[in-house]
């Protein structure tokens, strides 16, 4: 194991406590620690506008770091995830940074931003204030390196599977309709992103409804069914009161011939005015680690979801729609809905686009059609 100390500031606890806000000077406040055999290595680190301040008995760290990393492997890197820790056991003491939709060749250097707010006790001892560790690297062949403490492998594999789907979608438009067809697709994507209805969602484990907007009632889910999905939702309910939904119970069936390791259920919420919102994608929990082939099981969640606009205006729930948002099979392969399914159910207009579609539309916005064509040509 090799350790590399970036030249950031060492701030004494006394100086932080006596100041409202203190900039981090280049010394040793952040320890960046990658394994000796890591496929990505640190080239440089810049503290930027990172600051520390004291609030009550806690130290607040606003990290605004820029890292430069090198792909030291022989494979192309598609995603990187970091674990950033100020205190392991303090709420708000650790966070992650995941960067999907990369295309970094062997020997190439690429930037990675760390923009986080972390907490740690003022009396936390000496040494670096923040530790940065590698949680995982995903390669173009879907191989993975890293401890995977944050389930980064699954998340990045989902993103890369969606990326392959969406790149193929835009390449097929270019092939069928030419550059002007692709231009229109990029304009449509930007328009969808601007018009997509948004809702704030808070997820808490357990607890009873605290909403004053009416008594709690059990509401049935409607479901979107996708051809080719290994998991099929059969029926489900959640307890609803005002803008809160809790304790979802959803019966599912593994209709494939392979065990399912993990799947997530997407929620669409309809308010009393008939407006629909993409709410969340919730992992299905179960005491059993796998959903066996053809098995039917009740997926239970001990959680409460609260919905609001702009974190202040509660959204009263009228009805809910559920769907399988992704599935991980026993061998690590990922299934995601295809573009036709997303379009036919209007999910394409409700859900946030994949990181890759966001990246490609941003390439179009900044560099025009030629830049998108060049980018698609790389794959």
Note the pLDDT tens digit of each residue in 342-374.
Answer: 999 999 999 999 999 999 999 999 999 999 999
| Average pLDDT score over residue span 126-151 | 93
- The dihedral region occupied by 151, where left means phi > 0, alpha psi between -120 and 50, and beta the remainder, is left
With respect to CATH, is domain 200-351 assigned 1.20.1630? no
Nearest to 8 by CA among 133, 135, 131, 134: 131
Dist. CA 233–CA 250, nearest whole Å: 7
Give the burial class of 2: count Cβ atoms within 10 A of its Cβ; 0-12 exposed, 13-18 middle, 19 or more buried. exposed
Dist. CA 250–CA 322, nearest whole Å: 9
- 3-class SS at 46? strand
- 3-class SS at 81? strand
Dist. CA 63–CA 113, nearest whole Å: 10
Q: What is the pTM of this model?
A: 0.88
- Per-residue pLDDT of 286-318, as tens digits, reads 566 789 999 999 987 778 899 998 767 899 999
Mean pLDDT of the chain: 88
Dist. CA 73–CA 82, nearest whole Å: 17
Q: What is the DSSP letter of 140?
A: T
Contact 139, 102 (CB under 8 A): no
What are the two backbone dihedrals, phi and then psi, of residue 17, each rounded to the nearest 5 degrees?
-65, -25
The domain segmentation of the chain, as residue ranges, is 4-147, 155-193+357-376, 200-351
Q: Which option is the CATH number for 4-147: 1.10.1060, 2.40.30, 2.40.50, 2.60.40?
A: 2.60.40
Task: Categorize the per-residue pLDDT at 234 as very low, low, confident or very high, splitting at 50, 70 and 90.
Answer: very high
- Per-residue pLDDT of 156-192, as tens digits, reads 999 999 999 999 999 999 999 999 999 999 999 999 9
Q: Do domains 4-147 and 200-351 have the same CATH topology?
A: yes
Contact 96, 84 (CB under 8 A): yes
- 3-class SS at 370? helix
| Average pLDDT score over residue span 225-243 | 94
- Given this model, what pLDDT does residue 288 score? 67
Nearest to 260 by CA among 236, 233, 235, 238: 233
- Please name the helix (run of DSSP H) or strand (run of DSSP E) that holds residue 31, with its range, or none: strand 30-33
- Given this model, what pLDDT does residue 27 score? 60
- Is the pLDDT at 90 greater than 50? The verdict is yes
């Amino acid at each position: 194991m090799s350790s590399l100390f970036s030249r950031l500031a060492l701030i004494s606890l006394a100086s932080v406590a006596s100041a409202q806000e203190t900039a981090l000077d280049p010394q040793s406040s952040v320890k960046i620690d990658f394994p000796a055999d890591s496929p990505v290595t640190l080239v440089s680190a810049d503290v930027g506008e990172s600051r520390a301040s004291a609030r009550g008995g806690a130290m607040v760290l606003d990290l605004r770091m820029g890292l430069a990393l090198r792909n030291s492997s022989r494979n192309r890197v598609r995603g990187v995830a970091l674990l950033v820790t100020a205190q392991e056991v303090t709420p708000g003491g650790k966070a992650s940074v995941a960067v999907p939709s990369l295309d970094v060749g062997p020997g190439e250097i690429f930037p990675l931003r760390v923009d986080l707010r972390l907490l740690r006790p003022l009396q936390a001892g000496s040494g670096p204030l923040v530790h940065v560790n590698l949680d995982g690297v995903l390669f173009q062949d879907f191989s993975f390196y890293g401890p995977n403490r944050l389930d980064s492998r699954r998340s990045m594999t989902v993103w890369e599977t969606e990326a392959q789907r969406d790149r193929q979608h835009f390449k097929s438009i270019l092939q069928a309709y030419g550059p002007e067809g692709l231009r229109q697709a990029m304009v449509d994507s930007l328009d969808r992103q601007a018009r997509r209805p948004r809702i704030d969602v808070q997820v808490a484990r357990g607890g009873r409804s605290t909403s004053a907007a009416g008594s709690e009632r059990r509401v049935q889910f409607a479901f979107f069914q996708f051809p080719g999905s290994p998991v099929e939702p059969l029926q489900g309910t959640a307890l609803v009161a005002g803008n809160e939904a809790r304790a979802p119970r959803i019966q599912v069936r593994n209709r494939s011939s392979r065990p399912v390791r993990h799947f997530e259920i997407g929620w669409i919420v309809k308010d009393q005015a008939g407006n629909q919102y993409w709410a969340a994608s919730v992992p299905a929990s179960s005491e059993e680690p796998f959903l066996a082939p053809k098995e039917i099981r009740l997926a239970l969640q001990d959680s409460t979801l609260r919905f609001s606009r702009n974190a202040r205006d509660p959204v009263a729930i009228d009805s809910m729609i559920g769907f399988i948002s992704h599935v991980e099979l026993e061998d690590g392969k990922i299934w995601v809905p295809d573009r036709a399914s997303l379009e036919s159910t209007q999910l394409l207009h409700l859900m946030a686009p994949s990181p890759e579609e966001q990246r490609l539309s941003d390439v179009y916005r900044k560099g025009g059609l030629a830049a998108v064509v060049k980018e698609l040509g790389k794959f």
